[in-house]
A and B are shown apart, each in its own frame.
With several copies, the nearest count.
Chain A
Amino acid sequence: MEISANTQAIAYLISAILFIFALKGLTSPASARTGNYYGMAGMLIAVLATLLGGDVQSYGFIIAGVAAGALIGGVLAARVQMTAMPQLVAALHSFVGMAAVLVAVATYLNHAALGTLNSLLMAELSVGIVIGAITFSGSVIAFGKLQGIISGQPVKFKGQHLLNLLLAVVIIGFAVDFAMHETLTSLIIMTILAFLLGFLLIIPIGGADMPVIISMLNSYSGWAAAATGFTLQNNLLIIVGALVGFSGAILSYIMCVAMNRSILHVVFGGFGGDDAAAEVSAAGQAAEKGVKSASVEDAIYWMEDASKVIIVPGYGMAVAQAQHALKDFMELLEERGVEVVFAIHPVAGRMPGHMNVLLAEADIPYDNVKEMNDVNPEFATADVALVVGANDVTNPAAKTDKSSPIYGMPILDVEKAQHVYVIKRSMRPGYSGVENLLYYQDNCSLIFGDAKDVCENLANALKGGAH
């Protein structure tokens, strides 16, 4: 069976519609699964329409590639820990980037063999290759930093940004030469330099900033797909590319707003490494007051008969995998008639929506989980706020201390609860390296220990205690 170009175009349109509905499904958890199926259907239709379109004539390599890809992808998806999602995502981005480069080069070779090259095509190819290559090497670095293969420390040297700028200019130069004179060497040099640029752009960024970078690279991978669509005159690639491009861009934007930093600051800033200079001011004064530490029993005392407990999970909960223990604890509290709410800050954890996925993994119903703006007014009426491995997102310095690097970042109003208990292992600061003024408040005590252990102890205390 072979379908005409027009049938193919209509199939592509249907598949574009399905992709849009797939994303629209994510409007609510209830419709999200159906959305994912729409996405799968769209992909299937698109692939079939391409295979049947008459342009594809040999299937051996394709079958091999898809089979191997299905196997690898399936295993990755089944095995990955929810806490390792950022790495997986980075790895997948790098694949899209590399695929874009490979497709562009192969398209060039095909057109060269058929003698159908022209300047516009070569210009479009260059755009695809450069964006793809940057996406690839950038994502590889991001993956390495997140996985701990490469040190998370920002690698910095003088004139870094100037070098990158220079490199970009040189790349454009080679691209122009390639587009105008069909010079193969220019193509090769351009590609290599683009890989290098991706590497240099991401290496100076601290490991902790990787979530924003990953979203940025997600956006790039979308634009790379769109650029490929222009080269291949394939409208479906253009549509999907734009959708993905916006997804990454909007997520980076959301993260930056929630951290009160500009994207430029993330890309050029080298945040969260060495310089913790400005934080002496208010925090320094507060330090002299000392910090109270508490035992599990102290905390239970206030929680077991409370009317409302708000739990604030953070990165530490993810690291310690404490969500299941928290779920047990929540159920025990609810059995005693305590209302339990989980309060999620938009950048708690290390990627957008990170906490939601972990809580969902532990089967915590999403009606119990509230976003920052919805839950903030509730702290004032809560008996206890239990902070589990969260830090920066609870730091009142963001509201009060103008000299703090996180000043202006919207935070959870934890300090308004009657009692605040914070579970963490040490006095070390969180991601931003800023000391947390919350710990010096009268109503706040710290429970030192691993989040999972402490949560299990809390649950046990509630079970065991002969109340």
Chain B
Amino acid sequence: MPEILVALYIFVLSCFIGYWVIWGVTPSLHTPLVALTNAISGIIILGALLATGLQGVGNLAEIFGFFAVLLASINIFGGFLVTQRMLAMFNKKKKK
């Protein structure tokens, strides 16, 4: 199969997974969900890494790539840590 069709297959299957996994999230964790998806959408950093790290191409691409790496990293670190912070609150058990 050509790559674009492979991508299409994977996209379609992932959409089903997205549908089910998100509906499964308990409503009380919807705010952490938003933060977590923020973090994992930082996966765009892969594109940024490739754009920045490629040898022997224009400087402009490298600079664009640098900013992309920066922004995506903020997302990743910010997202995971704030999720962590929120979930830590939830995790405290009833004391009594």
Contacts and interface: CB of A to CB of B under 8 A. Distances in A.
B24 A24 contact: yes
Given A24-B24, A57-B55, A58-B55, A99 B90 contact: no
Contacts of A95: 71-72, 74-75
Contacts of B9: 9, 13, 235
A56 B78 contact: no
Contact of B68 (A35, A78, A103, A235): A103
B50 A50 contact: yes
A236 B38 CA distance: 16
A344 B31 CA distance: 14
Given A23-B33, A36-B84, A109-B57, A225 B75 contact: no
A229 to B, nearest CB: 7
Contact of B89 (A69, A98, A222, A361): A361
Given A26-B32, A366-B28, A235 B76 contact: no
Nearest to B80: A40
Interface in A15-58: 16-17, 19-20, 22-24, 26-30, 32-33, 35-36, 39-40, 42-43, 46-47, 50-51, 55-58
A110 interface: yes
Contact of A43 (B6, B31, B43, B85): B43
Contacts, number: 396
A254 B24 CA distance: 13
A113 B58 contact: yes
Interface stretch (A201-209, A263-271, A348-356): A348-356
Given A56-B53, A363-B92, A74 B43 contact: no
Contacts of A157: none
A65 B69 contact: yes
Scoring B21, B46, B71, B79 by chain A CB atoms within 10 A of each residue's CB, the highest score goes to: B46
Given A109-B57, A113-B57, A352-B31, A69 B76 contact: yes
Interface in A218-249: 218, 221-222, 224-226, 228-248
B43 A237 contact: yes
B40 A243 contact: yes
Given A56-B53, A235-B9, A106 B41 contact: no
A246 B18 contact: yes
Majority-rule SS of B interface residues: helix
Contacts of A248: 37
B44 A246 contact: no
B41 A225 contact: yes
A332 interface: no
A89 interface: yes
B55 A20 contact: no
A29 B92 CA distance: 10
Contacts of B15: 242, 245-246
Contact of B69 (A62, A235, A243, A344): A62
Given A22-B36, A32-B29, A96 B89 contact: no
A102 B68 contact: yes
A50 B46 CA distance: 7
B38 A92 contact: yes
A123 to B, nearest CB: 11
A319 interface: no
B70 to A, nearest CB: 4
Interface string B55-96: 101101111111111111111111111111111111111110
Given A235-B9, A239-B13, 6 more contacts: A32-B32, A95-B72, A239-B17, A242-B11, A361-B86, A363-B92
Nearest first, the 8 A-B pairs at minimum CB distance are: A69-B73, A73-B77, A56-B53, A65-B69, A246-B18, A353-B30, A73-B78, A106-B51
11 contacts: A9-B5, A26-B25, A68-B73, A76-B78, A99-B68, A103-B44, A237-B43, A243-B17, A244-B41, A344-B27, A352-B31
Interface of B: 1-19, 21-55, 57-58, 60-95
